[in-house]
Structure 1
């Protein structure tokens, strides 16, 4: 995830307020982009010379390991998002201010890989032959950001976005065949605290679009 964000971060900062363009307004635009939400496609419809409506979908998956307390997990991240946005072009050029909502079905699946004795909550447990597995679910939220695009005007356009999704903290649910319920709930709270970084999720992206 962090590698994907770093890949697009440099280019995503290239937001510009280019001069007003003389292109013919096409009304519709379609494009593809790479962002910290994943790989995406989107469609734009011009409502006025300053206001566009934008709808898109994004997807991304990544597998890694994550250690929380005494337990090391195999972590499989799956991002599935749909964005519903209004883009305001105050200068009638490429610069835009965006506001909207992301519908999300994002999950982080966790499967314990630790063996031996581990501490969970206030107790010690033997994980040889045992497991602690679970899921962290991240919902959608409001989006606000800045960007650049000439989508809605005829021809090709470079696009860029820099914003944030206010999606709230993840909801963690764990299961285990060895850990007691009270200690399992304590582990859930610890994981939710450690995943608070996803409360306000940064969106950095670049792409191309074509107006037709």
Structure 2
């Protein structure tokens, strides 16, 4: 009888141990399958035709993301031409707010949204010696015109459309990912503004003609640029999903 009780107790203990083992395995599996996914937020550094910048990304789901950012880069150059010293400054950049659509739930994306380009060119000139300017077909000596200013800039909110790739969806555990964009900003033509100042002692009639020629030259340049309505965008970057 003692042997029978012994075997009964052993069987009971074995059953309890097996049940505890199964429970622990099930619990561990539950922890593994319910681990927190990566954050829907990401940040990326970018560089390209719009300068250097940063983007912030929010993933709605694997098919749609919201992305906003800013980029900027400035260049300057001084040069001398026909007795005048010129300083040129080119600024690239702008703000963007985009929707990224991932039709195949992978890295390929189609992006559309709004861009506020800050791209502009500024040019200033001052007389440094003997020379001349030709404005609207008329020639003025540097003794008659002592300074010259010009600018070309974009303004307002413009639509954007492009294609690209990012590894945000693949970074399911967070971490680094690669980004790229190729697209266009429907910017319209830049607006050009010109001005020139007469030197002291220049005849009033010459100054009046200069003003007329500057206005005509400005209109001519704006007319020529009116057919250039797009700003190309090419960007590469590296991001991090939290």
TM-score range, shorter chain: 0.7 to 0.9
Deviation at 1:104, TM superposition (A): 2.6
**CA deviation profile, 1:157-180 (whole Å, cap 9, x unmatched):** 111110011111111111211362
Structure 1's unaligned 5+ residue stretches are 1-23
More strand by percentage: 1
Aligned 8 A contact 2:58 2:65 in 1 = yes
Match of 1:91 in 2: 104
Aligned CA RMSD, in angstroms, stands at: 2.6
Cα distance in 2 for residues equivalent to 1:27 and 1:118: 58
Please report the TM-score for the alignment, with normalisation by the length of structure 1: 0.78
Q: Please say if 1:120 is aligned against 2:135.
A: yes
Deviation at 1:47, TM superposition (A): 1.1
Match of 2:10 in 1: none
Please report the TM-score for the alignment, with normalisation by the length of structure 2: 0.69
Where 1:199 maps in the other structure, the secondary structure is coil
Aligned 8 A contact 1:28 1:151 in 2 = no
Deviation at 1:197, TM superposition (A): 7.6
Match of 2:30 in 1: none
Structure 2's unaligned 5+ residue stretches are 1-36, 199-206
Cα distance in 2 for residues equivalent to 1:194 and 1:110: 18
Identify which of 40, 46, 60 aligns with 2:73.
60
Larger Rg, first or second structure (1 or 2): 2
Aligned 8 A contact 1:78 1:108 in 2 = yes
Cα distance in 2 for residues equivalent to 1:30 and 1:62: 26
Where 1:168 maps in the other structure, the secondary structure is coil
Structure 1 residues 166, 30: CA separation in 2 closer, same or farther (over 3 Å shift)? same
Match of 2:88 in 1: 75
Between 95-104 and 123-132, report the one with greater CA deviation.
Answer: 123-132
Q: Please say if 1:141 is aligned against 2:158.
A: yes
Count of residue pairs the alignment pairs up: 187
More helix by percentage: 2
Aligned 8 A contact 2:49 2:92 in 1 = no
